[in-house]
A and B are shown apart, each in its own frame.
Chain A
Amino acid sequence: MADTLPTDVEDAELIDRWLSGEQAAATRLVERHGVPLTRYVASLGGRGDTDEVVQDTFVRAFGALGTFRGDASFRSWLFTIARRLLLDRRRTVRRRGEQVELQDHDTTTGEDPLAGMVATETQSRLAAAVGRLSPTQREVFALRVTEGMSYREIAALVGTSEGAARVHYHHAMRAVKEFLDA
């Protein structure tokens, strides 16, 4: 499925139609945002529970759709919900004494969240380069590169400033280039 960037106007129309009772509008919204959302959740290290987090995100989003203000894009809103869900899950896991995945100091564990899904050697090297980034750098970088999000959107999602998001991105790009040049 072609992942063209949906416009805010089209999302607003679909949301409006769903709130008016058109169930098919929900299908369209899931089709438009399901793949990017899954990609985002996977990039945050959501391996075994990616599908569950994605579904839960949509369920919660549609349950609160009447309160969606449209200040950010619908996709950014979904990403925000997913991120919080994933963090909550990780905290729960940590309380059980199990390994936590989303940690800023966890830089070179050797665990590449994209491992196992690579198609070509080039993609393997690129994924490895991104996998070496810190979780925050990886998240910012992935959002900028795969979703084309602005620094403002990324900052709101990740919980940082625009300036910090810009710095994270450029540091990440520098690290990726150095890895590929090695």
Chain B
Amino acid sequence: MRKLNFFLFLRGIVAAIFIVSGTEKLLSPYENFLYVIQNYQILPYPWMEKMVALGFPWIEVTLGLFLLLGLWIRGTLLGLAGATASFIFIVSQAIIRNLPINSCGCFGDLVKVPLPVILTMDSLILVSIFLMSYNRTRILLLSLDRYFDQKS
């Protein structure tokens, strides 16, 4: 039972991180997140930067919500792993290239987090996602996926 609660707790924490991160960006002007993306100097075209600034927070909120509700868990975990791996790559390249970025901008205006700290956090999140992926039966407790599986 303790192991089950631990995985549910992990699911809740990771979901909350993505929901809060996405919501904070959506409630601020998108120009703030656009500026963050521009500072990382990773996308080659301005229209790509704008697309990510407008679209990515919605993806964060959606994946976070699906994880919280336990909906399409397999696909959600894959999506979250992809997003987190991308963050790790983007932040790492900024550190290696010594870009003048003081705070990652990951949580919008809520929290200012230096790059090395966010790299550590993202790595822990990725590990959590892998743990949940390998223990899917345990995280399916109190989930919509299980509800629908039982009904069908």
Chains A and B come from one and the same complex: no
- A-side residues, CB < 8 A to B, are none
